[in-house]
Amino acid sequence: LGIERGKIIRVFNGYVSRGRDGKLELHLGRRGEIEVDPKDVKGKNYPLIPRLKRIAQILPSERNRRISVVGRIVEKASLSTFERRDGSTGRLLRFTLVDETGAIPVAAWNERAEALEKAELDGFLLLVNAKVRERSDKRLELHVDHRTYVESLTEEALKQIFPEEKPIRVSEIAKEGKIPVLEGRVVTKPFLKEVKTSRGETVKVAMFEIADENRSIWVSAWRTLAEAASKLRVGDKVRMENVRVKKGFGDRLEITTTSSTRIKVQREKGEE
C-alpha cells in the first residue's frame, strides 16, 4: 500500500469500535479500502505528528496514558532477556531519551527492544503511542510495546517535525535562559579538566571561548560533551543546540551545556 509516516490516507468502508483501553479505533474489514495521498487533499492541512509532547510536559496525571514524543538517545543498556510466567522468553532494552526540556527513562519490550537495539547512541527517535508508567520510586518512564510506532529520525525528518530555529549570535545574548541554537567561532583553545559536583560526582568539563565580530563568551561543555569539545580548534565555526545562559564569575554571562545539547562543527571545505 505504501503507507508510511507523513502520508495522507483516505479510508473507505471502515467502522469504529472501542479498543481495550476504551478509546475509539478505526477498523477495516473485507470491504474496507485505503487510498494513499489523495490528489484532491492538501498536505499542509494535516499535521505530521499530532499532540507531540515535550518531555517536561509528561506529568503524573498522564500515568497509563499513551503519548507521542521525540528525543535523543543519550544512554542505552544492553538487550536483556527474562523468563515469562508461561516459560517463554521476553526481551527488554532500557535507554534514556532527552530533549531540550528534560530526560525520561524508556523501557522497550520484545520485538521493539530488538529493533531499538540497533538505534544509534546520540540519534533522534520518534515514539508514537508510548505508554506512560510510574516506577516503584514514583518516577515516570515510557514503555514501548507492540502498539508503539518507532522511527529513527534523520536530520531532514527532524526538520519536518520541528522547523529549524534561527541561530542566535553571541552579541545578541542579553540575559540568562535557554537558547535553542547558538553559533560562533572558537577563539581560544579548549582545555579539559575534572571537577567535583555538589553531589560529590567527579565529572569532566571542557572550557573554551566563542565569538562573533563584536563579542565573545565562555562555554562550559560537561560530561559526555567534554571530550568532543576538547578537540575543537581555534577558528572552528560551531553550532550549539539547546544550551543555557547563566551568570558566572563576576556576574558575567556564560554558556553551559545540558543533557540535550548538541555541538556541530562547521568547517570550511577542504579542512579535515
Residue extents of the structural domains in the chain: 1-46, 48-161, 168-266
Quick check: 258 and 245 in contact, CB under 8 A? no
Q: Phi and psi at residue 214, in whole multiples of 5°?
A: -120, -15
Say what the pLDDT of residue 269 is.
57
Secondary structure tally for the chain: helices H, strands E = 3, 17
Query: How many CA atoms, within 13 angstroms, populate the side-chain half-sphere of residue 224?
Result: 11
User: Global pTM?
Assistant: 0.64
Say what the pLDDT of residue 114 is.
93
Give the mean pLDDT of 224-247.
93
Pick left, alpha or beta for residue 236 (phi over 0 → left; psi -120 to 50 → alpha; otherwise beta): beta
Let me know if the fold of 48-161 is the same as that of 168-266.
yes
Quick check: 168 and 183 in contact, CB under 8 A? yes
What is 168-266's CATH number? 2.40.50.140
Of 237, 221, 230, 256, the residue nearest 186 (C-alpha) = 237
More confident residue, 159 or 173: 173
| CATH class for the domain made up of 48-161 | mainly beta
Query: How many CA atoms, within 13 angstroms, populate the side-chain half-sphere of residue 168?
Result: 22
pLDDT by residue (tens digit) across 103-146?
999 999 999 999 999 998 889 999 999 999 999 899 999 999 99
Distance CA 94, CA 105 (A): 7
